[in-house]
Amino acid sequence: MRSNARKKAELGAELKRLGAPAAAIDASTLKVMKPETRERPFSRPGWVFELKYDGFRVLAAGDGGEARLFYKSGHDATRILPEIARAVAALPLAGLILDGEAVVLDAGGKPDFQRLQRRGLRTRAIDAEHAAAATPATFFVFDLLACEGFDLRPLPFTARRALLRRLLAGQEPGTLRLSDEIPERGEDLYAAVAAMGLEGIVAKRADSPYRSGYSADWLKVRVDRTSDFAVVGFDPVPGSRSGFRNLHLAVRDGAGGLAYAGTVGSGFARDDFAELRPRLETARRASPPLAVAAGRGTIWVEPEVVVEVRYKEWTRGGHLRHPVFLRLRHDKTVEECLRPGEEGDGEVEEMEALETPSEASVSQVPAVSPVAKSSRPVAFTNLGKVFWPAEGYTKGDLVDYYRAAAPAMLPFLRDRPLVLDRYPDGIAGKSFYQKNAPVTAAGGVRTVTIHAGGSERDIDYFLCDDADSLLYLVNLGAIPFHVWASRVESLDRPDWCILDLDPKTAPFLHVVEIARAIRELCGEIAIEPFVKTSGGSGLHVLLPMGGLFTHEQTRQLAELLARVIVVRLPALATTARAIPARGGRVYVDALQNGRGKLLAAPYAVRPRPGATVSTPLDWSEVNAKLDLRDFNLKTVPQRLRRRRQDPLLPVLSVQPGLARTLELLAERL
């Protein structure tokens, strides 16, 4: 007791010497200091650099053996994080206010926001206590704002940190931790953070006082550009009450209203659909809550839900480029959804201006045609023309098939650049690929303009959004449809990784055995594989990527998986591309991954004898009895009527834990 009294007296004398004013502060109404955004890291004397923790910003107030916690919005978080409240209450100072970040650490010591977010949903006291025991939170404290009746905010940041260091000295590493800091060397810290896969860094002027609101004295530099957005609408999946194609996003504008920021359609996991759709349904409204051209089928909602989205950059038109959904933010409000760089009016002295997109980069932003699809029925032609002479199947049979398959097929086509393989006279006649879709031939089908790599020209790809668009293209004589692995809004981030099992002269039973071996390997490395027939002679095994990898990284992952499989099954599998070099083995092809690489779309008919169809399978069907001829233009519609769930559909939405997958895969190489 005497020791504590002496420490308090010494602390009070020190605060008076430093010039801290005597004042009581109410933590429940205190507005936190927020960093502005900077795109590049820097190193500079007079600055201190810290990790940017992936958690909840929390103000902790301790006084007389009691404590209360507040989110930066002012909402009480004491019940949600009881272990942090107890640790703060045990500190032997009165009138204490700490600023920091509450996180949940994974087994490797990295912040795991998903676990923390689940903690935030446990609002009953007993549930919160159970969660605290199962997934305890850590409070990384980075600032001391008040203690013993003194307001420390006018003091320099380094003085506040020195006092905080003394306060937490002797604490066992556990619930309360002093955040790490590095003076001057921001670029070195940023490089380390990027290598570790952490969120970013925060730079703080060493002599800066603590001011509420955004300030250029604090700067955040993210490894990936991410921001918070208000959800203002969604596009439902036809026939589904649980999912959606994409979310429409907005940020606050300078006048206090909302500005449209585009859509995000990738990165969602099953749990995200299950949580978001019900919340959005309850917020429906008849018209957009902001100035935007209303698209057909969009359901507009009140701007109440906030989500965090990763993206490459803002286009000059004010939309996001290559957005990927990261998470729902329960701890953020719509008022905090600001465009990076517009958080405040402060300027950083002697600092470089923020980067702006170059003319070259802007020219590569996909331009989607605004053509609205006509509701008029397709005027079909030559429906009696025979397309499969041996079977007698006609163009009309093909149209009937795609009309029946459209509900199952469209989720795999929508928002993806599409290439047609046209057979105007059937499979026995001449055929040609069609990438480019000139306006005169588009027939109201949406298109997207993409710069053709290695050339000076652009290509207008078809986009197939609905059944009428699909049937219009079939009427042009298109039999199979080939799609990109990525969507228009994130062309450089594929949704899947593919291993194409091509037997050529090898027995199909070997294809089955290799596919099952890939499934076993995926089980070992904690990623879920999906499988479909190619529609030809092999199988396609697809792994969900969730928009987390680039095309090049996805190809490298596929090559690593193929190497492991060839080592395990050397007599059956090979990565030799040349047919003579395969020696009668199945080619495990990883090279079908890449920007612009095409996949025979699920449920696409192939121009082969029997009119076989590329068909999603349950893994239980991948056995010695599997016969690819059983899946054709006549049998697949019956199969679709019998089945309630598509076994391949989750590949579009699952977001795997790729860090763990790569770690486990490395152990097997």
Residues identified as active-site = 52
Give the Cβ contact number of residue 34 at 10 Å: 18
Give the angle subtended at the CA of 251 by the CAs of 249 and 253, to the nearest 5°: 140
Alpha carbon distance 427, 479 (integer Å) = 9
Handedness of CA 264, 195, 114, 41 (dihedral sign): negative
* Ordered DSSP codes for 622-655: -STT--GGGSBTTHHHHHHHH-SS-TTGGGGT--
- Show Cβ contacts of residue 28 under 8 Å, excluding neighbours closer than 6 positions: 61, 68, 70, 74, 76
**CA dist 124 to 61, 82, 120, Å?**
21, 11, 11
Question: Among candidates 168, 161, 156, 127, which has minimal Cα distance to 144?
Answer: 161
**CA 128 from centroid of its chain's CA atoms:** 28
586 sits in the region (left: phi over 0; alpha: psi -120 to 50; else beta) called beta
Please, are residues 568 and 517 in contact by the beta-carbon 8 Å criterion? yes
Give the Cβ contact number of residue 315 at 10 Å: 18
Token pair of 631 as six digits = 């899946």
Beta strand spans in 38-183 (E): 47-52, 56-63, 66-71, 96-103, 138-147, 150-151, 176-178, 181-183
Alpha carbon distance 273, 240 (integer Å) = 11
Alpha carbon distance 286, 294 (integer Å) = 11
Please, are residues 204 and 186 in contact by the beta-carbon 8 Å criterion? no
Alpha carbon distance 516, 497 (integer Å) = 17
Q: Roughly what angle, to the nearest 10 degrees, separates helices 551-568 and 508-524? A: 110
Burial class of residue 66 (count of CB atoms within 10 Å of its CB; 0-12, 13-18, 19+):
exposed
CA end-to-end distance (rounded Å), the chain: 60
Alpha carbon distance 279, 276 (integer Å) = 5
* Phi and psi angles of residue 322, each rounded to the nearest 5 degrees, phi first: 60, 55
Burial call 557-588: b when 16+ CB within 10 Å, e when fewer: bbebbbbbbbeebeebbbbeeeeeebeebbbb
Q: What is the DSSP letter of 54?
A: S
Burial class of residue 107 (count of CB atoms within 10 Å of its CB; 0-12, 13-18, 19+):
exposed
Token pair of 495 as six digits = 């949704």
- Show Cβ contacts of residue 408 under 8 Å, excluding neighbours closer than 6 positions: 602, 603, 640, 646
Alpha carbon distance 471, 380 (integer Å) = 9
